[in-house]
Amino acid sequence: MIEALVQYYSQIFYALGQTFLMVLISTTFSIMIGVPLGIILSVTKRDGYVPNSSLFWIVTIIVNIIRSVPFILLMIILIPVSHFLFGTGFGMIASIFSLSIIGLSIMARLSENAFISADAELYCLGTSLNFGLIKTFYKIILPEIMPALILSITNLVITLIAYSMIVGIINGGGIGTIVINQLTGAWNWSLLWLVVIVMIIVISLIQIIGTVLARLVNKA
């Protein structure tokens, strides 16, 4: 194993850098779009802050459809869409696009659950202070649920890293490409086990960082 590390460390760390870049960008887009969708889902449901069944079901159906399609099929389905939008259906850009689409649907549900967990009296507090919906969420709800939201983002990042292993099919780069190359050629078990160990360490570190951050915010 040590010989494999010495032989492939540059290849592993370069691929790991590509994976981090893809996950960082897709996580950012997932949060930017998924959290507002989660807010919409939490406030427009039947017993929400501003019930709106039409909007609730539109967003629900869209999110459910995206989450229901296996990622490998979703990635293939999005190839022509990515080609239309970015001029290519393969490579890192297409991979980031696919990860962002699945990521926003995951983040929408995770953030919805986080916002639903907030005490209903907090909404009443916002009303009593004459806060609008956006100000209520920004000033009152968001600080209250921040620990849960941090854990949700941590779960999102870990999930996207797992999905990023599949984008090697569309030449997306990253750790997944190393694995795919092994599947199409002679199996190098030392390299594959090295990839597994590296990913276990990375995922464990991300989970620890997310848990520690959530605890620190909760104590603040």
pLDDT value at position 86? 92
Sketch out the chain's domains with CATH numbers. Answer: 2-219 (1.10.3720.10)
Q: What is the pLDDT of residues 46-85, one digit of tens each?
A: 887 788 999 999 999 999 999 999 999 999 999 999 999 9
Interval 167-173 mean pLDDT: 82
Stronger pLDDT, 125 or 186, i.e. the higher one: 125
What b/e string do you get for 73-101 counting C-beta neighbours within 10 Å, with b at 16 or more?
ebbeebbeebeeeeeebeebbbbbbbbbb
Asked if 96 and 167 count as a contact pair (C-beta separation under 8 A), the reply is no
Give the three-state DSSP class for 46: coil
Crossing angle of helices 79-86 and 92-116, rounded to 10°: 110
With a cut of 90, say whether residue 100 has pLDDT above it: yes
pTM across the whole model? 0.90
